[in-house]
Amino acid sequence: MTWILTAQPVMGIPKSRGLCKGSRKKVTKNEYLHRIERRMLAMNKRSLLALALSLLIVPAFAKDFPKGSPKFVDSYRKVLSDAKKSGKPIVVVFSATWCPPCQAMKHDVYPSPAVQALQDKFEWAYLDVDDHSNEKAAKEFGVNGIPHVQFLASDGKAIDKQVGSSSAASFAKTLEGVLKKVGTSSTKATESK
């Protein structure tokens, strides 16, 4: 049996090169399948290259925070150490680059004016759940969904948590509630400046 290779697209494969429109060339079934396999392999190589490039580029942008964002650290140990020195409560944000609600909070909530007023009353950490160095902290706080924001006292004891996204006003109210639980109100902290 022979197969006819035409210049028309077959099964989503682009027109074959070197043939004029409407021309036909007889090929064996094995030749035909081999050509399809080569084209699919070439498409897969391009897809893998694009994926590899995106995996290299996306993490570089993940650390970029909008103007007005808190001064995030990317280490749970570092934020605990900073909090012990400063005596401030801790906000630990568990997030990922591929999570749309996480990215929305990163760009709209944390740098918002409502949250900016409270930023200096906390130590902040932004931990990527896809980074293996953050697995222990994620497991410790039972992170099953993101965004997961864990609120801790300066000694590292859990005070509260928020799972899922929220508005800037709602998040600011949650921060106020955390300050009340640790015995610091935002007005006291502002007056002491």
Identify the domain containing residue 15 by its residue range: 2-62
- How many domains does the structure of the chain reveal? 2
One domain, residues 50 and 79: no
At CA 191, angle to CA 187 and CA 193, rounded to 5? 125
One domain, residues 23 and 114: no
Is residue 79 a contact partner of residue 90, using CB atoms and an 8 Å limit?
Answer: yes
Cα 90 to Cα 152: distance, rounded to the nearest angstrom: 5
Tokens of 100: 């749309």
Whether residue 45 lies inside any domain: the answer is yes
Count of CA atoms in the C-beta half-sphere (13 A) of 165: 16
Cβ-count burial 19-45 (b if 16+ within 10 Å, e if not): eeeeeeeebeeeebeebeeeeeeeeee
One domain, residues 85 and 145: yes
One domain, residues 79 and 100: yes
Cα 141 to Cα 127: distance, rounded to the nearest angstrom: 12
pLDDT per residue as tens, the chain (193 positions): 545 555 555 555 555 444 444 556 677 777 877 787 887 777 777 776 666 665 554 444 445 788 988 999 999 999 999 999 999 999 999 999 999 999 999 999 999 999 999 999 999 999 999 999 999 999 999 999 999 999 999 999 999 999 999 999 999 999 999 999 988 755 444 444 3
